[in-house]
Chain A
Amino acid sequence: MTRYLPVIVTAAVFALGYAVCALQFPAFLSTRVIADLLTDNAFLGILAVGMTFVIISGGIDLSVGSVVGFTTVFLALAIGTWNIPPLLAFMLVLLVATLFGATMGALIQGFEMPPFIVTLAGMFLARGASFLLSTESIPVTAPLYGAISDFALRLPGGGRLSVVGLIMLAVFLAGGILLHLTRFGTNVYALGGNRVSTGLMGISVGRHTVAIYALSSFLAGLSGIVFSLYTSSGYSLSAVGVELDTIAAVVIGGTLLTGGYGFMAGTFLGVLMQGLIQTYINFDGTLSSWWTKIVTGVLLFAFIAFQQATLALARRSVRGTAAKGTTP
């Protein structure tokens, strides 16, 4: 059961937080707030799905925020200036992002470089590239954008679940299936457990490393598309520092930064938790939005301390039952 404990705790803390918010502002119980929570955090959620794979495999991806920024600028220019049809532009940018991630994965594997350094370089590279494209904030006026932002799934109670919110939910569902129900997912856990052992057990470590970073960057590209739809603009300074919010969401969701342990559902809760804090601050109206960062920081700290404690506890229980299973 200790495996599920971090997720259970995150769920409990989220439920508690939601209850407190709802007591103070009854509107929190409306479907409108819930739908907005999903919409406003869609791009963060999509990034967090990719980051969950990366962190469970024992890595880290610092480039995702920059890829989002690059994607928004690229789309704004492609659609507005180069007159590429939006859907084609989407496919192009996803392809570029995927190749970018695959290259980072190949570098990490081929030169045995720490993911931290490689993706840090990737972060600067992608951010620099978006400045190279344009330093201006460019509005996107394609009809498709208008159509998409007009469309929404109407929920009882007046909530409107937007397309970007739906995309995020779909990505979480697909990510959960991929992580928990396929060989690829098991291999991601295996890599996070021990890369050498995984190789010795006949799993191609290199191919998986490339695939994991390609997936993360692909989702960062998708997140950029969502961000572009959400803001209807492209700006090279958008999503600065979002990679850290993403990592925070994944860790608050109970995934171990050292790799090997974590659940997609936990990440979902971690994203909602950050959204909840932001929404509360919006409702309150007097608090500075920087309180989001402060509360996130405190939560992050508490969760990491909590994880260490459960790990230590689990280790002790292993020692206690060391003889378990040896009796035939």
Chain B
Amino acid sequence: MSLPPTMSLSPTDAVPPIDAAPLLAVRGLSKSFAGFPALAGIDVTLRHGEIHALLGENGAGKSTFIKAVTGVIARDAGTVALEGAEIAPRSAQEALQAGIATVYQEVSLLPNLSVAQNLFLGRQPMRFGLVREGEMRRRAAALLRDFDLDIDVGAPLGDYSVAVQHLVAIARAVDMSARILILDEPTASLDAHEVEILFRVMRGLAGRGLGILFVTHFLDQVYAISDRITVLRNGRLVGERETAALPRMELIRMMLGRELSEATSEHPAKDAAETAPEAGGAIRFEGFGKAGYVAPFDLALASGEVVGLAGLLGSGRTETARLLFGAEAADSGRLTIDGRSVRLASPRDAIAQGFGYCPEERKTEGIVAELTVRENIVLAVQARRGALHPLSRREQDEIARRFITMLDIRPPDPERPIGLLSGGNQQKALLARWLATQPRLLILDEPTRGIDVGAHAEIIRLIRQLCTEGLTLVVISSELEEIVSYADRVVVMRDRRQIATLEGEAVNVTAILQAIAADAAPLAA
């Protein structure tokens, strides 16, 4: 139980009495990547016949936790005990042999093989060195009948829906005498009917004494199926609770609420006059949306305004950002800037209007790791000028030096490949890239994700400073206290829809939590 004193919720008050030998007991699990802790002292207890939900926002450490428990990545510290006996699998294979099977969101079976081959790969019934195809199919059909699946087991797995593929993956795991089933976002691509089938199977398996660790971000499903809940946040354990005794509001608070470090809470009150949005708004999105992506919304942005986008994972925050930047073309609504109607069909259009976007996936969508800090910073300026008007080396050096100084990028070496910088400094270089284009609107998706506390405070200080200089910002964050500390307005999203806009006094953590939890669909039975 090594938890930092800053945690608002003590996990110890909810830990159940230690039963003699729980099915799975993870204690003090820790893992760091390049010095940055991804998991710090996580304890999780899974009992026999229990469906246990593992919750947390993006970057909370759920995937890392699963990988560390099943040996896909090596753990730095901590123990994993299966019915009291310590295990240390070094691969998914060894975990499987020990009795822990993982079914990932992306079904990790083979669509080109038949259903029967997938079920029995590596353990087909044999005679004289040859696979007994008929026997294998008979066994496969019998096995799937337990799961209410009556399908042609000789057909390629890829012919069937994702739901069936998930069930086949689970059937394989269970048949390989798994005692613990880890389901990583199994319902993300299933429809309501398919989810019901999956849940029925899960209940049946739990009834047979299996322990199921269920990772999801659909809270309704958590309440529909799980017995207990463990919440992770930023690689730390927030707490473990009985589902029945945990109100939804409290659960959301566990997932999102975070005490701001001292550095970031220095300026709790914003100067209202300084940042008051101009009436009307210079950039107006009206009825903007895309069918099946984000429901149409209105958003008016005045210069110098900071608008926060809040909501749970999967609520449509990032999707909204991509629409605003034209990375996803809207199929309804219009955009006017200073009263003029403007076309926004691609990021090119957005950049031409002076929009900038720092995506959440810094590594894959943001930085070009092999290029130097200088080259990364001048990228957007160059793109805006076009390939025919190259920036001279002197101009590039000038821009790079200015922003390295202004944002305090360390080490202050413009010629260092950006991939070698820390997360916080990469983020600052990304900010610099867009600031160099002198944008009027900057969209930041989780700007403080995965960076250390010091850099965290600096990024927030920068956001505040930028808006006093007249820049309009749209910021997405899972850290509610962080949003509250700089946003003039907070747009709350749920189910890919704007459900509330909070302004002025109403911008506080409790109000946001209430908006997210308010009139949530009644718990599915």
**Measuring CB to CB, which residues of chain A are less than 8 angstroms from any residue of chain B?**
3, 177, 181-183, 186-187, 189-190, 192-194, 196-203, 260-261, 318, 321-326, 328
Q: Contact at A201–B161, with CB atoms within 8 Å?
A: no
A residues in contact with B160, CB < 8 Å: 324-325
Whether the Cβ atoms of A193 and B164 lie closer than 8 Å is no
Closest chain A CB from B121 CB (angstroms)? 5
Residues in chain B near residue A325, CB distance under 8 A: 149-151, 160-161, 164
What is the distance, in angstroms, from B386's C-beta to the closest C-beta of chain A?
A: 35
A-binding segment of B109-117, B224-232, B330-338, B464-472? B109-117
Q: Are B197 and A328 in contact (CB under 8 A)?
A: yes
Determine which residue in A186, A189, A203, A322 has the highest number of CB atoms from chain B within 10 A of its CB, and name it: A186
Give Cα A189–Cα B130 distance, bound, in whole angstroms: 16
Of the residues B110, B158, B193, contact of A198 by C-beta under 8 Å: B110
Q: Is the CB of B163 within 8 A of A201?
A: no
- Tell me whether B110 and A197 are in contact (CB under 8 A): yes
Between-chain CB contacts (< 8 Å), 23 pairs = A181-B130, A181-B131, A181-B133, A186-B113, A187-B121, A189-B110, A189-B117, A193-B110, A194-B108, A196-B108, A197-B108, A197-B110, A199-B92, A200-B92, A200-B93, A200-B108, A201-B118, A201-B172, A202-B92, A318-B158, A322-B161, A324-B164, A326-B163
Chain B residues whose C-beta falls within 8 Å of the C-beta of A194 in the assembled complex:
108, 110-111
Q: Among the interface residues B113, B148, B164, which one has the most CB atoms of the partner chain A within 10 A?
A: B113
Contacts of B110 in A (CB 8 A): 189-190, 193-194, 197-198, 201, 260
Most buried by B among A3, A194, A197: A197
Complex Cα–Cα for A198 and B117 (A): 12
Residue of B nearest to A204 (CB): B93
CB of B377 within 8 Å of the partner chain = no
Q: Is the CB of A261 within 8 A of B112?
A: yes
By the criterion CB–CB under 8 Å, are A186 and B197 in contact? no
Choose among B110, B133, B149 the residue with the greatest number of A CB atoms under 10 Å from its CB. Answer: B110
Segment 223-244 of B: residues with Cβ below 8 Å from A: none
In the complex, the answer to whether A3 meets B148 with C-beta atoms within 8 Å is no
Complex contact B121–A201 (CB within 8 A): yes
Whether A189 pairs with B159 at a CB distance below 8 angstroms is no
> Are A186 and B117 in contact, CB atoms less than 8 angstroms apart?
yes
Is A183 a contact partner of B122 (Cβ separation < 8 A)? yes
Task: Judge whether B197 and A326 touch: CB under 8 Å.
Answer: yes
Q: Does B129 contact A (CB under 8 A)?
A: yes
Min CB–CB distance B346 → chain A (angstroms): 27
Q: Which residues of B contact A (CB under 8 A)?
A: 92-93, 96, 108-113, 117-118, 121-122, 124, 126, 129-131, 133, 148-151, 156, 158-161, 163-164, 172, 193-194, 197
Nearest to A196 among chain B residues (CB) is: B108
In the complex, the answer to whether A197 meets B109 with C-beta atoms within 8 Å is yes
Identify the 9 closest CB pairs spanning chains A and B, nearest first. A328-B148, A193-B110, A260-B112, A325-B151, A193-B112, A197-B108, A181-B130, A325-B164, A202-B93
Contacts of B112 in A (CB 8 A): 189, 192-193, 260-261
**Residues of B with C-beta under 8 A to A186:** 113, 117, 121, 124, 131
Chain B residues positioned under 8 Å from A3 (CB to CB): 156
Q: Do B130 and A182 have beta carbons less than 8 Å apart?
A: yes
Verify A326–B193 contact, CB threshold 8 A.
Answer: yes
| Known interface pairs A3-B156, A181-B133, A322-B161; 7 further A-B residue pairs with C-beta atoms within 8 A, sorted by A's residue number | A183-B131, A193-B110, A200-B92, A202-B96, A261-B112, A325-B150, A326-B163
Task: Given A190-B113, A193-B113, A196-B108, check contact A203 B121 (CB 8 Å).
Answer: yes
With A181-B131, A182-B131, A318-B158 known to touch, is A328 a contact of B149 (CB < 8 Å)? yes
Nearest A-chain residue to B111, judged by Cβ: A193
B131 touches A326 (CB 8 A): no
Interchain nearest-CB distance for B132 vs A (Å)? 10
User: Measured between alpha carbons, how far is A211 from B56 in the docked complex, in Å?
Assistant: 43
Give the residue of A197, A202, A260 whose beta carbon is less than 8 angstroms from that of B122.
A202
Q: Which of A182, A183, A325 has the most CB of B within 10 A?
A: A325
CA distance A149 to B209 in the complex (A): 69
Assess whether A321 is in contact with B159, with CB atoms less than 8 Å apart.
Answer: yes
A326 touching B121, Cβ below 8 Å: no
The CA-CA distance from A140 to B294 in the complex, in Å, is 76
Q: Whole-angstrom distance between the alpha carbons of A26 and B21 in the complex? A: 82
Residue of B nearest to A194 (CB): B110
**Cα of A325 to Cα of B118 in the assembled complex, Å:** 16
Which chain A residues lie closer than 8 Å to B118 at the CB level?
A: 201
A301 CB to nearest chain B CB (Å)? 24
Report B-chain residues with C-beta under 8 Å of the C-beta of A261.
112
State the Cβ distance, A316 to closest chain B Cβ, in Å: 12
In the complex, A182 Cα to B113 Cα: how many Å?
A: 14
Please measure, in the bound complex, the distance between the C-alpha atom of A202 and the C-alpha atom of B89, giving whole angstroms. Answer: 13
Query: Roughly how many angstroms separate A6 CA and B482 CA in the complex, as a whole number?
Result: 59
**Contact, CB under 8 Å: A190 / B121:** yes
Distance (whole angstroms) from the CB of B107 to the closest CB of chain A: 8
Closest approach, in angstroms, between the C-beta of A202 and any C-beta of chain B? 5
Q: Across the interface, do B122 and A323 meet the contact criterion of CB distance under 8 Å?
A: no
**B101 to chain A: closest CB distance in Å?**
10
Q: How far is the CA of A203 from the CA of B193 in the complex (A)?
A: 33
In the complex, A301→B158 CA distance in Å?
26
